[in-house]
Structure 1
Amino acid sequence: MNSATTPAGDTRAAAEHNSDHAVRSDTIARPVNAWFHQNARDLPWRRSGFSAWGTLVSEFMLQQTPVNRVIPMLERWLIRWPTPAALAAEPPSEAVRAWATLGYPRRALWLHAAAVEITERHGGTIPDDVDALLALTGIGDYTARAVAAFAYGHRHPVVDTNTRRVMARAVGGQGEPSPPSRTRDLAAMEALLPDDRGEAAAFNAGIMELGAVVCTAKSPRCDACPIRNACAWRRAGYPVYDGPRKAVQKKYEGSDRQVRGLIMAELRSTHRPVTDAELASVWPDAAQRDRALAGLVVDGLAVPAAHGGYTLPT
């Protein structure tokens, strides 16, 4: 998430959340943590001894990608590159190639660049400080706080889409969250966060889990929710959300994103330059194909070869 100017409403909301901290933390965090300890899914990054590097890699992979697709890729990735230094020692093309079909392959480039920076600046150790993490390539506010909280147990509010939905319903009484606001969202989560570091880390994970498997966007299972009796949305009779919404992403089929993916698949399939003729076969619309290819070049994912054709970045 990017920093944003704080509107007056955000300041008032933050003050209201902070003034109600004791009540909200007790009535929401405690039952969420109790539920989480009993019902948390067995995910690799939640297991004892999972490395800070593994946590960082998982956070990169989980951006806009479902958990079930990330787990096998994460396990293969950490076998091949168990440390940042191991990844930094290879060219970025190998990171992009190994990213395969996870989507948004710029994440692979950013992760490789971050591994180089961690190796050179921090001796191969993932920093535990939010500001130091934010200084790494590809790491935004959410990822920096998630690594500091989940890998090192520091007390930071961590807010993702699932967290925002639970807070919007349980605290705000609305069916959907308003568009993201860094200041408002972090203040709202800070107001709920237990003071104890261990309980705070559990609550960050627990409220995300609750939003992922119970308080879901389309079919919430309210009868199974551990905070159903404290939920403002339930008490209000589940009113329909009528506020501002995020822009809806365009369909994937036929989009430039699909064409970019087909071009990337062609580039990953070989270690030699892919010719213009080979690229022409991946999509019939030449104008759209050229536009997608030009975007990949700008993003550093496709590199013109010296004697024609294109390769992955080396």
Structure 2
Amino acid sequence: MQWNCPSEPQGESVHQQVLQWFRESARDLPWRGGCSPWGILVSEIMLQQTPVVRVRPVWEEWMARWPDPAAFAAAPQAEVLRAWGRLGYPRRALRLHAAAGVIVEKHDGAVPDTFEELLALPGIGTYTAAAVAAFAFGRRETVVDTNIRRVFARLVIGQALPAPSLTAAEMALAKELLPEDAAASVEWNAGVMELGALVCTARSPQCGICPVRRECAWIAAGQPEPSYVPKGQPWAGTDRQVRGAVMAVLRAAESPVHAELFWGPASELAALKEHLSHPGEVADALKSLHNLNVHAPQLQRSLASLVADGLAQLSDGGYHLPH
């Protein structure tokens, strides 16, 4: 595919317009401006597949409780998973916990400042390594997330949406558009990402207020429809929903939950009080699980997968969060 990249003067204009818009319109987020590298790493992990509005309160509580990797690495896994709450994809919390342990062991408790060292941490992929290197340490790295991909697809290529999965051509384009100056490249990465999050959105782009609408190839082409229909991840009735409901039970319980309680009625609080510290909270979580009307094979499969993923353990007393 031939990329219709901006000419040099146009490219400079696009950079200037996006950076000016970002300086005037960027959200005041706690992981921007003076935030520690650890705080930026935590935010990047939490923001994966989770919107800012859900992440912010959890991030703030998290940083108050574990302000550095050493404090977090010393925390029990059960407390880590409780603090993660309902952010979803809780394996991210365990991977971050493992990364904090390596940071303490191999980097004297300081988040490493290069892409290569960050990428070597447990659970850190190329996007997160590039984002932390850029936003925490001012490195000139090519940061490409969903928002950036969508902006470039419209602005440069003239397509409504990027390809279903990241391509080498997209990475090449992002590298070509990255300013040479390191400080400008960091701001450019953040600015394009913010433009995609606030203006050049997937479903209702606000082209009328876009700072680069005059340079946009998609607008020039008459805003053609996408070549495919994005498929959102299903939730209702899936194993993910059941796993989330089970995790809510385990987070509420400070003692093992008998296996039969996942199937039986949660109304008998007397039985719960025999082995649970917060029977009311656990009963509410069990009620939510039971209201899903999960068939036994799916519940068994979900419980087994949580154990296999290290998110739950099974002992003689029942299921519980990992120690």
| Both structures adopt the same fold (TM-score exceeding 0.5) | yes
Deviation at 1:24, TM superposition (A): 5.3
Structure 1 residue identity aligned to 2:233: Q
Of 296, 300, 319, the match for 1:286? 296
Matched, 1:198 2:183: yes
Query: Aligned in 2, Cα 1:105/1:24: closer, same or farther, shift over 3 Å?
Result: farther
Aligned-partner Cα distance in 1 for 2:44–2:71: 18
Q: Partner residue of 1:30?
A: 16
Q: Partner residue of 2:72?
A: 87
Q: Which runs of 5+ in 2 are unaligned?
A: 265-288
Matched, 1:227 2:212: yes
Q: Partner residue of 2:44?
A: 59
Query: Aligned in 2, Cα 1:24/1:267: closer, same or farther, shift over 3 Å?
Result: farther
Aligned-partner Cα distance in 2 for 1:132–1:229: 40
Runs of 4+ in 1 over 6 A off after TM superposition: none
Structure 2 residue identity aligned to 1:309: G
Aligned-partner Cα distance in 1 for 2:226–2:46: 31
Of 244, 247, 263, the match for 1:261? 244
Aligned-partner Cα distance in 2 for 1:89–1:242: 49
SS of the residue 2:204 aligns to: coil
Q: Deviations over 1:238-275 (max 9, x none)?
A: 111215x655422x122211110111011111221111
Aligned-partner Cα distance in 1 for 2:161–2:52: 22
8 Å Cα contact 1:21-1:192 kept in structure 2: no
Cα RMSD of the aligned pairs, angstroms, is: 1.6
Query: Aligned in 2, Cα 1:136/1:237: closer, same or farther, shift over 3 Å?
Result: same
8 Å Cα contact 1:25-1:191 kept in structure 2: no
Higher relative contact order (CA 8 A, sep 6+): 1
Q: Partner residue of 1:310?
A: 319
Q: Which runs of 5+ in 1 are unaligned?
A: 1-8
8 Å Cα contact 1:24-1:191 kept in structure 2: no
Of 131, 154, 157, the match for 1:169? 154
Deviation at 1:21, TM superposition (A): 6.8
SS of the residue 2:157 aligns to: coil
Across the two proteins, how many residue pairs are aligned to each other? 296
Aligned-partner Cα distance in 2 for 1:128–1:28: 29
Q: Partner residue of 1:3?
A: none
Structure exhibiting the larger radius of gyration computed from Cα positions: 2
Aligned-partner Cα distance in 2 for 1:43–1:226: 21
Aligned-partner Cα distance in 2 for 1:246–1:109: 30
Q: Partner residue of 1:6?
A: none
Query: Aligned in 2, Cα 1:146/1:21: closer, same or farther, shift over 3 Å?
Result: farther
8 Å Cα contact 1:25-1:194 kept in structure 2: no
